[in-house]
Structure 1
Amino acid sequence: MKPENWHRRHALQLACQLPEDSADALIVLRMATQLVTGFLAEDERTEKPGPVVVRIGGDECA
């Protein structure tokens, strides 16, 4: 996936909030990656699809 302008904008917004020390900043980024790939991704997998309603019958109005 090629980064788009909005990706760059968000990355800049996040980078402005990182600690000044590069080692600390990298720790924060690793932890953020773990949140996205672990916690947030698990929520998506556990969602159940919505119910499906099937109408059987003719063209009468319900």
Structure 2
Amino acid sequence: MKVSKNRLLLLECKTGLTGKQVAQRAGIKEQSYSMIKHRCSCSAPTVAALAHAFGVEVEEILNDVRKES
């Protein structure tokens, strides 16, 4: 699934979480989270885990080309 790097970074700022903390909350490796931000892509279960880590709905981190244009 395509995720928005900008939205992930914005959520990090809003929540005050570091990448390491997000990864821990999502149950993934810090390096994996870094790669997700770099590639803007991950599996559906990982998207759900990241959304849960931030306390937001999945749609808030998905890349919607129509909205980001």
Q: TM-score range by the shorter chain?
A: under 0.3
Greater helix fraction, Structure 1 or Structure 2: 2
- Greater RCO (CA < 8 Å, at least 6 residues apart): 2
Bigger Rg over Cα: 1
Taking structure 1 as the reference length, the TM-score comes to 0.23
Return the TM-score normalized by structure 2.
Answer: 0.22
